[in-house]
Amino acid sequence: MKREIWFDMDGTLNRFYEVENWLDKLRAADPSPYELAKPLVNMNQLARKLNKLQREGYKLGIISWLSKTSTPSYDEAVTTAKLKWLHKHLASVHFDEINIVSYGVNKWEVCGAGILFDDEERNRESWQDKAYHPDMMMEVLNMLMKGE
């Protein structure tokens, strides 16, 4: 397995689906749910773990879908909102790669290596290395830090 760790964003790093009226907002081409979503875990703890793993040679990446409802201008607004969210909540983490791709794209075909954390079951099933639900994120990262 390559020493790469990939993170989905919506529902994985953040509580996207808990934003009030998130679906109606997406259908109205409103990017605010991507900006307003609260973190899923303690971001200070996560940042410390990620920075330590990166110093130990792990590549860190984001692989996240755009909205299912899509236009070029809305895709740009969503991408901007996601990048701002990352900067706000994980400013000390310098991801090696950030891929914000069309909804439904096979994430394995884009990244193709290492560990994936993703709330979407079909993404975990199509991943050909190790893939975990976000509930396992801190536990798996702790194991990696111990060299397990």
Q: Write the CATH number of the domain with boundaries 4-145.
A: 3.40.50.1000
| Boundaries of every domain in the chain | 4-145
Would you give per-residue pLDDT tens digits along the chain (148 residues)? Answer: 579 999 999 999 999 999 999 999 999 999 999 999 999 999 999 999 999 999 999 999 999 999 998 899 999 999 999 999 999 999 999 999 999 999 999 999 999 889 999 999 999 999 998 999 999 999 999 999 987 6
Q: Show the tokens assigned to 95.
A: 């991801």
Who contacts 42 (Cβ-Cβ below 8 Å, separation ≥6)?
Answer: none
H or E stretch covering 100: strand 97-101
- The C-alpha atoms of residue 128 and residue 21 are separated, in whole angstroms, by 34
- Under 8 Å between Cβ of 95 and 111: no
